[in-house]
Chain A
Amino acid sequence: MIDGVWRMGVAMRFFMLTLLHSGICLRRPQLVIREIFTAGVLSLIIIVVSGLFVGMVLGLQGYETLQTYGSEEALGVLVALSLVRELGPVVAALLFASRAGSAITAEIGLMGATEQIAAMEMMAVDPVARVVAPRFWGAVISMPLLAALFSAMGIFGGYLVGVVLIGVDDGSFWSQMQAAVDFRDDILNGVIKSVVFGVAVTVIALFEGYDAPPTAEGVSRATTRTVVTSSLAILALDFVLTAFMFRGV
């Protein structure tokens, strides 16, 4: 228990150090762009495909339930709100943790194990500024974009199943969605969620990698811990954020 709290403290200090050394990302934006490619662009496939399927399942299940009450025109609203408020940020973040988070941990852990971090320090290059900070910003910028893409693909999946396959009315699907989804309450809150998840996942992944013992076992354990810890963190943070954002709605 004490160990856990102590580790959280060290991770927080590491986070602060990362922010403090982020100046390099403004001076050399190409470093961040490279990381947006590794963390964001390379995660596109899994995000797009998962989003599509989650949306299709929502379409099927939603239609089944709504049909009982004769309100299948509200399918668009159901799909869009579920995705934008919850499933988009949460599922995209979970996928992001296992796809990009684990890769970040493994890469930095192995850099440590093969003395690349030590070599960088010996070359008078601060590894927190050169390695950690660009990855942090690259991942944090990618996360909300991926979550938005996930939601968009999900809505498209819901449309495919609901409208194209089952035959829900096209006009009411979109117009009800347009009327019910609020920009500030729903979309903006979803974006805030995905930014918070992005920061949490990335800090955990970077810290675990940087802190990993320089052995094969150490790196593999750190990678596992990244996925487990960030998944739990995402779900816990989601509850807290939802409680604050949608309590009065």
Chain B
Amino acid sequence: MHDNLVEIQGLHFAYGRRPVLKGINLTARRGQVVAIMGNSGCGKTTLFRVIGGAVRATQGSVRVDGVDMVGIDQEGLYKLRRRMGMLFQFGALFTDISVFDNVAFQLREHTDLPEDMIRDLVLMKLNAVGLRGAQDLMPSELSGGMARRVALARAIALDPMLILYDEPFAGLDPISLGVTGNLIRRLTDTLGLTSIVVTHDVQESLKMVDYVYFLSEGVVEAEGTPAEIKASGLPFVHQFVHGEEEGPVPFHYPAEPYAATLGLNHA
């Protein structure tokens, strides 16, 4: 049993010729909630896809529970994914079946459990996210925050070892935001999971995570515990944590000088 559930060393990834990740080192210890933060387009979602095995690293090593994700075959990948849960940004619930059936989906696909046992398990998972009463609703009848909680119940249906959260806080009202944050922390602690959260919600994440990685332009710009991050003097981290407009990340997309664009040079 490795102490580190996810180990990434010297990870490079490129879409065609466009490099997205350039030498990432990252570890997630068992039982931790790890956040990956960064501005839009910094490669955090790609990093996620690499951990989930949706895309393969061009260079470097990625190990999940000691399994090499770079050379893994389809069968091995599916076997590993049964022990992984993923929460998509907007839940990605199956819209043609009810909340109950969504949570039961993996149990029915991967196990031969009798229906009454599946029912108990599903209600337990729904109860854990506070939505036992919503079991008969269709996904279209749920609010954004509820949909994400159902998706969370679905992700923990098979008691995974690792859950990946893609932007779990995006577009939530303050109450749902706090609820979701607490849920991630509580589920991680009570179920003995490891959680990796991709987010750019600094304030909410710093409250509940154990370790933070800051990504910028495909490299890890900074890392540390929330306390270290808050105290960090690095200009990038400071700009990010305080949401400042100007800093190492410029407000303006690269362009020719403004005066030149307006044709003022000729005057």
Contacts and interface: CB of A to CB of B under 8 A. Distances in A.
A125 B92 contact: no
B64 interface: no
Given A114-B95, A124-B110, A119 B82 contact: no
Interface residues of A, number: 15
B92 A115 contact: yes
A118 interface: yes
A118 B109 contact: no
B95 A123 contact: no
Interface stretch (B83-91, B124-132, B236-244): B83-91
A124 B110 CA distance: 9
A116 B92 contact: yes
A115 B54 CA distance: 13
Contacts of B93: 116
B81 A116 contact: no
B92 A119 contact: yes
Contact of A125 (B86, B89, B106): B106
Interface residues of B, number: 22
Which residue of A115, A118, A119, A121 has the most chain B CB atoms within 10 A of its CB atom? A119
B79 interface: yes
A126 B105 CA distance: 13
A111 B94 CA distance: 8
Nearest to A121: B54
B79 A115 contact: no
A116 B94 contact: yes
Interface in A118-161: 118-119, 121-126, 130
Contacts of B95: 110-111, 114, 116
Nearest to A107: B96
B15 to A, nearest CB: 16
A184 to B, nearest CB: 41
A122 B52 contact: yes
B92 A123 contact: no
Nearest to B157: A123
Contacts of B88: 115, 118-119
Contacts of B109: 123, 125, 130
Interface in B64-120: 77-79, 81-82, 84-86, 88-90, 92-96, 105-106, 109-110
A118 B52 CA distance: 11
Contact of B92 (A107, A118, A124, A130): A118
Interface string B46-74: 00000010100000000000000000000
A119 B52 CA distance: 11
Nearest to A125: B109
Contacts of A119: 86, 88, 92, 94
Contacts of A111: 94-95
Interface string B182-202: 000000000000000000000
B78 A114 contact: no
B25 to A, nearest CB: 24
Contacts of B52: 122
Nearest to B109: A125
A111 B8 CA distance: 31
A125 B106 CA distance: 8
Contact of A123 (B79, B89, B90, B106): B106
A242 to B, nearest CB: 39
Nearest to B78: A124
A122 B109 CA distance: 13
Given A115-B89, A119-B88, A125-B110, 13 more contacts: A111-B94, A114-B90, A116-B92, A118-B54, A122-B81, A122-B86, A123-B82, A124-B78, A124-B106, A124-B110, A125-B105, A125-B106, A125-B109
27 contacts: A107-B96, A110-B95, A111-B94, A111-B95, A114-B90, A115-B90, A116-B93, A116-B95, A118-B88, A118-B92, A119-B86, A119-B92, A119-B94, A121-B54, A121-B81, A122-B81, A122-B84, A122-B85, A122-B86, A123-B82, A123-B109, A124-B77, A124-B82, A124-B106, A125-B105, A125-B109, A130-B109
